[in-house]
Structure 1
Amino acid sequence: MPVPPAPPAPSPPWQRWVPWAWLMATATMLVMVVVALVPASARGAHRGPTAIELTQALRTPVDVPTGTPMQPQPVTLPDWWDHAKPLREGVYRYDVAVPLKPEPGVFYDLFIARAGNSLRVELNGHLIEQFGALHRPYANYAGLPLEVGLPSSFLRPDGQTLTITVAGEPFSTAGLSQVWIGPSEVIDPMMFRAEWVQVRGVWVVSGATAVLGLMSLLLWVRIRQRLYLYYAIASLVWAARILMPLAVVPLAPVPLWNWFFFVSYSAYIALVSLFSLDVIAYPHSGLRRMEWGFLALSMLLLTISVFADSYTLRSINNFLSIGAAFVPAVMVTVYTFRQPETGRVLLSLAAIVAVAVGIRDYVVIQINPAGYGEYTWARYASVLFMMTLAWIVMERFSRAMQGFQTSARFYEIQFSRKQSELEATYDQLREAEKRQAVEDERRRIMREMHDGLGSTLVTAMSLVDRGDTKQAPLIDALSDCMGELRMAIDALQPHDNDLLAALGTLRTRIAPALERAGIKLRWEVEPIPAIDRLTPEATLQLYRFVQEAISNAIKHSGATELTLRATFDWKREWVSVMIDDNGRGWNPFEPGTRRGGGTDSLRARASALDGIARISALKPGTRVQLSFPRGPLSSSTADASGSRAADAPFTDPPPTVP
């Protein structure tokens, strides 16, 4: 029976507040990010009375490609080389006049939000610190904030000259941002905030993104839903990308390193968009094809831009990235309004915030030459998608558990119902078996009464009908009737599968007949284990076999002595009961010997026990032997009782046993 669909479980009261709590947490986080990422030039701490922001410098080429103008040129900081035409590369020196008159006992520091690739810092002609070599291959410090202590012995009382020499190459974010100089107690907090935003926070986000990406990959491996694969690849790519600016020494050739850095942004946008479309179960394939097409076009544009030194193509790609993220975000929002669910609401908010952050980064940094000192916000927008994925996984797991619980309850009810039906059927079968057993026992008793007691009573009645007034034959017939009745009753008595006890009961019944015939009975039995097949019916068949053998000996052998032996073959686990007489002897297999109904009766009794009847000649006398296995009767034998006994083969004559 198919499992019915799980009914929608009522939402607990606390769940209604989850979206609002998420919105409050998101708003709080955004406020914190805005406070931390406000442009350096806009923060009062940077422009305080004890800190000086340096924005004017004289830029002089030092070691540049042939054809580059060599004359000094005044510039306004920040100076971003990637926006120069043609793209700037090589080594440039920035001379900055610092209107600083040092105060006694005050230690001064220099803070540079961004500079690179490599740089050297000098104060009043004295080398203070150098970050990387000023020749190829360049190190890249452009992703790290820098703080440099200014030795008091190098400071002049009437003003300072700061010289920063920068070496860089295209598409490596080379340039020089604004520079701040001031007391250490002012510069240190600026450096602390910058390190958290540009370094420590990035490590935290990257680690969390990578962990969630691996978890998503494991989910995809287990349940094979492609939305988890999309998010896993996007997260792992993004975790690597946001760490790349922190690598001072590139881990690959610079063109390839830069190409992966730019392409990874496009790949992240395309994969997250595909993930979002799968979350809302978007039915059409057009948007998905658009995202794959955007990713292919982006890889082509960025390949050309990196190897052809074209910043314009890179800007075009960044603009296309906004469109590739904007369209799916709109579609997610539309579907959320049509069918509002907590997961969709969170996803739409994350998509809207991500698009807004992407536009902000594009306007403030990508197309703004003065944005060199700014921080990108996109690296932190992935936190919203992490929270969304965590909620979606938790929500889907909760739904799956509700479905499992519903299915478990359904199967529990079905199992209880089937169990009750089986118990009722079993009770009916048990009652039917009891009735059948009673009926079988009744029929068996009727058959035995008919075959044994009935035939003997018929003999007695025939004597009476003939008017035979001799008492001896009539008394013998009536005695036989009583013997048959006692034998049937004895067979019904419990013997606990003890053959010797059953034979002992039989001995008391046959002893009077042997005494009247003047025959001595010898009893030779050995210890025999319990015999599983000694049911009442089998016991009666055993009694009748022994009775038939003794009766034949009394009537035909002329014996004066009978020996009843019982042995057990421990190897084969077979029981043998033998009746030996010392009479004239008789072997039914000798030529000319006539076999009567007695042998057929013995054969029938043995077959009813799954056994073998053997008749062999002794010197003197005859042996009648019954052998049968110890185990329980086979079902076919038990069911057939004696009905197939007449068809059982009489064994070949065994070797004479002394």
Structure 2
Amino acid sequence: MYDLFWRGLAAGLFALGVVALLAFGVEPPSGKSILLAQTSGAQPHELPQRWNGTVGRVETRQFGFEFEHRLDADAPLHLYVPYFEQRLSLGLNGIDLTAQANLTPWRGPLSSASALVLLPSEVLHDGKNRIDLTVSTGPLKFGALSRLYLGPETELAPYFRLRNFIEHDLKVIVFGVQAFLALACIILVAAHRREERFAWLGVSMVASCLFSLGTFGDTFPQVLPIVPWAFMLAPPAAIGFLGFAASLEGIRRTRALTIAAIMMPTMGYILILSGMAPLAEIVLWVILPITAASLSVALVILVRLFWCQPSADLAFLVSGLLLMIGAVVHDQFLRLGYLGNGVFLAQPARLLTLVGIAIFLMLHLARITRELDQAARTLSERLRQREDELAVVFERERTLAEKAASQSERTRIMAELHDGVAGHLSTIVALSDAEQTDHRGIQTVARHALGELRMVIDALVMPEGDLRIALASLRERSIDPLRRLGIETEWSMVHLPDVKWMSPEQTLSVLRILQEAISNAVRHGMPQTLHIKGEAMSSGKFAIHVVNAGGKGFHKTSEVRRYGVQNMARRAEALGGETVIRARGDGAEFTLILPTHGPESV
């Protein structure tokens, strides 16, 4: 149903355009026109007349008219000449009135001039009067003279103003619309470089603007010398519109059109400069046919597209192009002398076509905007659905993370208990199993176990700070028990660099690693001397060594598999470091290596 509506809309717009164009050629219905005879004495001829002079030469034709007039008429008498080519001079009863005549200038082979002349009462005779007209041609060959109308100004002036509007004011309007569309296309191409359709339409509009420079010849006489050359740009304008139609259809191979748009005016200029053909012949037999042919092919493409995909924007575009092609064909027949109304319709048809193009662009952009809005709504809906799915996934991941965190916390607490409290409890058990139980020793170890619990609690609430402070706290807790066991201890952290990136949990991990290393050295190495020292390394790391000497040797293959040793390695790896255990003759050396500025600096 909509397809039929859009097709009917296109037909209706075309019909309205035809009616509007035909209205431009209406002549006064009540004037009187009498052709008496030419001054040469030849037989009378009916007006209008068209003829071809000699290219490059100024030639004249003279016409004489006689009419009856009564001086007691109420309104002043005027002579209206709807069109003539190219220049006109006139006289009444032997008096030259050319200087007093209101003449519109002739602006080229695709235009005509008109005149409205007041016939002064002091020159008119009561009775028979004579008007002498001289029509001059050259350097172009075209000559024409329309019917002549006598009557009051109130009857003839509206038709003269309409002609003047068509030949001057309408061209200014057309130029303005073309310039606006050209600017709009340039902006669209700059914003969307891949939009080939707007690039072709911009070429068509820019060429049309240059082609229409003669519009301002009255205001700026400097442009008049280039007006004949501007006619060569009519084919590029039509070819640009053909490229626009091809891009709408989806035809991408338009290199031939680009070459044609460049070659056509170039060949025309070469023909004119070489003297092989005059401008008038080129306009008549090259410019107009190529323009009409290009627009016709564009029309075929657009009609086919409109028939397959009817829409409002294409309805305006197709109807406007139909009017334009019809106007070009009309002007061709008018120039060849087959039509006699003297009104060139290309300019008014161009305005209707440009209006159709402007409406097409607005509707086309509106449709694109609607499609983008719909796409945005669809994307928003899909995004909402995806967000809902991600929310479910996030909640599931959060639950798993909480479970993993709980498991990690249980593992950490187990390690803390093993490294601290469990070691002291094992000592208490060993002392209790001895034959001579020293209750004071058990009491001491129990105090140390309590101290270890306090250290865990203190480390967890300790603010981020210098590792030296935490190591000093470990030294205070370790020196006294080691001395009671008869172990000489050397503790030195003078060469340890500043380490301030560790959190309380990370600091506690370092303390636990060292505490486990000291505990292992005491339990398994039975040392006489224990050396604990820190130093900076050249690779951006630091090391803390725990060396036991004067005791039992170290069997690496059996000792490194213990849970405590593996737990120390895991703690160090979590901090971005490593542990190294080396055997010595009378003991062993444990080394903790960590980055000085955090794991990310490694």
Letter in 2 for 1:363: F
Query: Which deviations, in whole Å up to 9, do the C-alpha atoms of 1:32-52 show, x marking residues without a partner?
Result: 3322x1343xxxxx131xx33
User: Structure 1 residues 574, 278: closer, same or farther in 2, change over 3 A?
Assistant: closer
1:548 paired residue number:
478
2:442 paired residue number:
478
User: Structure 1 residues 30, 400: closer, same or farther in 2, change over 3 A?
Assistant: farther
2:81 paired residue number:
112
2:217 and 2:75 map into 1 onto residues whose CA distance is 34
Q: 2:209 is matched with which residue: 221, 239, 254? A: 239
Helix, strand or coil at the partner of 1:223:
coil
Q: 2:32 is matched with which residue: 18, 27, 52? A: 52
CA contact (8 A) 2:10 2:319 kept: no
CA contact (8 A) 1:548 1:602 kept: no
Larger deviation, residues 203-212 vs 332-341: 332-341
Letter in 2 for 1:315: L
Query: Which deviations, in whole Å up to 9, do the C-alpha atoms of 1:409-466 show, x marking residues without a partner?
Result: 44554455345434533442343133112211212212212323322431x2243xx2
* Stretches of structure 1 lacking an aligned partner (at least 5 in a row): 1-10, 41-45, 61-70, 499-529, 559-568, 576-594, 615-633, 651-658
Q: 1:491 is matched with which residue: 455, 461, 471? A: 455
How far the C-alpha of 1:294 sits from its partner, in A, is 9.3
User: Is the counterpart of residue 387 in structure 1 residue 366 in structure 2?
Assistant: no
User: Structure 1 residues 611, 273: closer, same or farther in 2, change over 3 A?
Assistant: closer
Letter in 1 for 2:170: G
Letter in 1 for 2:21: V
Please provide the CA RMSD for this pair: 5.1
Paired residues for 1:392-411 under 5 Å:
392-411=364-383
User: Structure 1 residues 413, 18: closer, same or farther in 2, change over 3 A?
Assistant: farther
User: Is the counterpart of residue 454 in structure 1 residue 417 in structure 2?
Assistant: no
CA contact (8 A) 1:302 1:314 kept: no
CA contact (8 A) 1:315 1:367 kept: no
2:508 paired residue number:
none
User: Structure 1 residues 241, 176: closer, same or farther in 2, change over 3 A?
Assistant: farther
Helix, strand or coil at the partner of 2:127:
coil
How far the C-alpha of 1:557 sits from its partner, in A, is 12
Helix, strand or coil at the partner of 1:191:
helix
Paired residues for 1:87-126 under 5 Å:
89-90=58-59, 94-115=63-84, 117-126=86-95
1:648 paired residue number:
591
User: Is the counterpart of residue 162 in structure 1 residue 131 in structure 2?
Assistant: yes
How far the C-alpha of 1:280 sits from its partner, in A, is 1.9
CA contact (8 A) 1:497 1:534 kept: no
1:621 paired residue number:
none
1:362 paired residue number:
332
Question: Alignment identity in percent?
Answer: 12
Helix, strand or coil at the partner of 1:370:
coil
1:206 paired residue number:
175
CA contact (8 A) 2:54 2:138 kept: no
Paired residues for 1:344-355 under 5 Å:
344-355=314-325
Query: Which deviations, in whole Å up to 9, do the C-alpha atoms of 1:559-587 show, x marking residues without a partner?
Result: xxxxxxxxxx9x99799xxxxxxxxxxxx
1:271 paired residue number:
240
User: Is the counterpart of residue 84 in structure 1 residue 53 in structure 2?
Assistant: yes
Larger deviation, residues 372-381 vs 351-360: 372-381
Helix, strand or coil at the partner of 1:162:
strand
Helix, strand or coil at the partner of 1:112:
strand
Helix, strand or coil at the partner of 1:308:
coil
2:185 and 2:477 map into 1 onto residues whose CA distance is 86
1:641 and 1:216 map into 2 onto residues whose CA distance is 65
How far the C-alpha of 1:276 sits from its partner, in A, is 1.6
2:16 paired residue number:
28
Letter in 2 for 1:380: L
1:431 and 1:220 map into 2 onto residues whose CA distance is 57
Paired residues for 1:182-581 under 5 Å:
182-221=151-190, 222-242=192-212, 244-245=214-215, 247-248=217-218, 251=222, 254=225, 257-261=227-231, 263-282=232-251, 289=256, 296=263, 300=267, 304=271, 308-309=277-278, 314-317=283-286, 318-319=288-289, 321-340=291-310, 343-368=313-338, 370-373=340-343, 375-376=345-346, 378-383=349-354, 384-414=356-386, 416-418=388-390, 420-458=392-430, 460-463=431-434, 466=435, 468=436, 474-493=438-457, 530-532=463-465, 543-551=473-481
Query: Which deviations, in whole Å up to 9, do the C-alpha atoms of 1:265-305 show, x marking residues without a partner?
Result: 333332222322221224887xx858966985686468647
Helix, strand or coil at the partner of 2:66:
strand
User: Structure 1 residues 461, 556: closer, same or farther in 2, change over 3 A?
Assistant: closer
CA contact (8 A) 1:89 1:168 kept: yes
- TM-score, with length taken from structure 2: 0.69
Query: Which deviations, in whole Å up to 9, do the C-alpha atoms of 1:48-99 show, x marking residues without a partner?
Result: 1xx3346667478xxxxxxxxxx99966544545x33667624555544344
User: Structure 1 residues 485, 635: closer, same or farther in 2, change over 3 A?
Assistant: closer
1:373 and 1:312 map into 2 onto residues whose CA distance is 20
Helix, strand or coil at the partner of 2:454:
helix
2:95 and 2:532 map into 1 onto residues whose CA distance is 131
How far the C-alpha of 1:112 sits from its partner, in A, is 3.3
Helix, strand or coil at the partner of 2:131:
strand
Letter in 1 for 2:416: R
Letter in 2 for 1:482: A
Query: Which deviations, in whole Å up to 9, do the C-alpha atoms of 1:122-152 show, x marking residues without a partner?
Result: 43344445399x9xxx985965544344443
CA contact (8 A) 1:233 1:271 kept: yes
User: Structure 1 residues 259, 638: closer, same or farther in 2, change over 3 A?
Assistant: closer
2:18 and 2:173 map into 1 onto residues whose CA distance is 17
2:343 and 2:314 map into 1 onto residues whose CA distance is 36
Query: Which deviations, in whole Å up to 9, do the C-alpha atoms of 1:458-481 show, x marking residues without a partner?
Result: 1x2243xx2x26xxxx22212123
CA contact (8 A) 1:456 1:478 kept: yes
User: Structure 1 residues 194, 425: closer, same or farther in 2, change over 3 A?
Assistant: same
Paired residues for 1:135-146 under 5 Å:
140=107, 145-146=114-115
User: Structure 1 residues 398, 372: closer, same or farther in 2, change over 3 A?
Assistant: same
Q: How many residues were matched structurally?
A: 523
Q: 1:38 is matched with which residue: 12, 17, 25? A: 25
CA contact (8 A) 2:92 2:129 kept: yes
CA contact (8 A) 1:119 1:165 kept: yes
Helix, strand or coil at the partner of 1:171:
coil
User: Structure 1 residues 196, 574: closer, same or farther in 2, change over 3 A?
Assistant: closer
How far the C-alpha of 1:407 sits from its partner, in A, is 4.4
Larger deviation, residues 548-557 vs 598-607: 598-607
- TM-score, with length taken from structure 1: 0.64
CA contact (8 A) 1:143 1:245 kept: no
Letter in 2 for 1:188: A
1:557 and 1:362 map into 2 onto residues whose CA distance is 121
Higher relative contact order (CA 8 A, sep 6+): 2
